[in-house]
Amino acid sequence: MPPRPFNVEIVAPSVNSMRSASGLPLGAHGTYDDVKHTNIAIIPLMMVEGPNWVPGRYPGLVKWLKKMHREGTILCSACTGVLLLAETGLLSGLEATIHWAFAPTFHRNFPDVHLRTQEVLITAGNRHEFVMTGGVMSWHDLALHLIARHIGPTAAQAMARLLMLEWHGDGQMLNIAFSPRLDHGDSLVAQLQEWLQGHYMVANPVEELAARATLSERSIERRFRKATGNTPLSYVQNLRISEARRRLERTDMPVEEIGYDVGYENTAFFRKVFKRMTRLTPGAYRRKFQMAGIMPEKKDAYG
């Protein structure tokens, strides 16, 4: 029998029995202090109580990760595990990814890390010694990456076929829901956001916003961007594409009709914007996400 390419062990602060988020017992082979060297260290999903990461809870583990990095270890993370990895300070100035739902708390705690939530897997560092995946269910992207890197791409492809795993080449873009910032404290911009929820399909949205705010288009763009992080046009496009995605998933409406209803008179331009924002054409998106066996909503459901 050929030797195993990986010798996997679970380490923790102690060897006492722990429980996973689902309540199943987990046992560690040893403590992380027992490990003097390892080629790869993987930080799993770090369950947080609520959406906010509280730093400083695992100082011993942070110290151990920094020591392993100095000795050449590849440091990997799955989903929110990157929050602990970022506490080491080793990601400062580098790119990282995390599940999009935890992006706000990541930004607040680690503003010096360039977060790219649209990506499922990112490698960073001079030696590509940091490997991060965004979603908890993209753990197999990490596994396949490590197999390809340490054994070879043929082995990774064979494993993907054997276990029927799908590479998430499209990234997280397809799963990120547009969640506009509403807690910025600018009451005027908040009023404009509320208005846009029902009028994102207007022909000249920036012009309409400026008129409603009695400001120049340049002033409203600057103020809107400062409050929400988006230009008015980008904000409107996110609203339009979000609604287009919903209709592609739940209705049988023709693509051209969906594009027109959400604000794009030119179907070719709608397709171009949709693909830029989701990395799929509207037709491919519908084939991928319209649930088989589910009766689509009818057109008259939208008035």
Residue 101 neighbours by CB under 8 Å, 6+ apart: 51
Tell whether 168 is covered by a domain. no
- Of 100, 128, 162, the residue at which a domain comes to its end is 162
Q: How confident is the model at residue 197 (pLDDT cuts 50, 70, 90)?
A: very high
**How many Å from the N-terminal Cα to the C-terminal Cα in the chain?**
66
Q: What is the CATH number of the domain that holds 247?
A: 1.10.10.60
Question: Looking at the structure, do residues 149 and 277 belong to the same domain, yes or no?
Answer: no
C-alpha span between 172 and 135 (Å, rounded): 8
Structurally, how many domains does the chain consist of? 2
Domain limits for position 36: 11-162
Q: How confident is the model at residue 163 (pLDDT cuts 50, 70, 90)?
A: confident
Residue 238: Cβ within 10 Å count: 18
Tell whether 182 is covered by a domain. no
Write the DSSP symbol of residue 302: G
C-alpha span between 152 and 297 (Å, rounded): 46
Tell whether 282 is covered by a domain. yes
In this prediction the pTM is 0.62
Tell whether 180 is covered by a domain. no
User: What angle is formed at CA 114 by the lines to CA 110 and CA 115, rounded to 5 degrees?
Assistant: 85
User: Residue 72: which region, alpha, beta or left (left: phi > 0; alpha: psi -120 to 50)?
Assistant: left
Question: Looking at the structure, do residues 152 and 256 belong to the same domain, yes or no?
Answer: no
Whether pLDDT at 301 is above 80: no
* Percentage above 90 pLDDT, the chain: 49
Tell whether 178 is covered by a domain. no
In this prediction, residue 302 carries a pLDDT of: 38
Question: Looking at the structure, do residues 155 and 279 belong to the same domain, yes or no?
Answer: no
Whether pLDDT at 299 is above 60: no
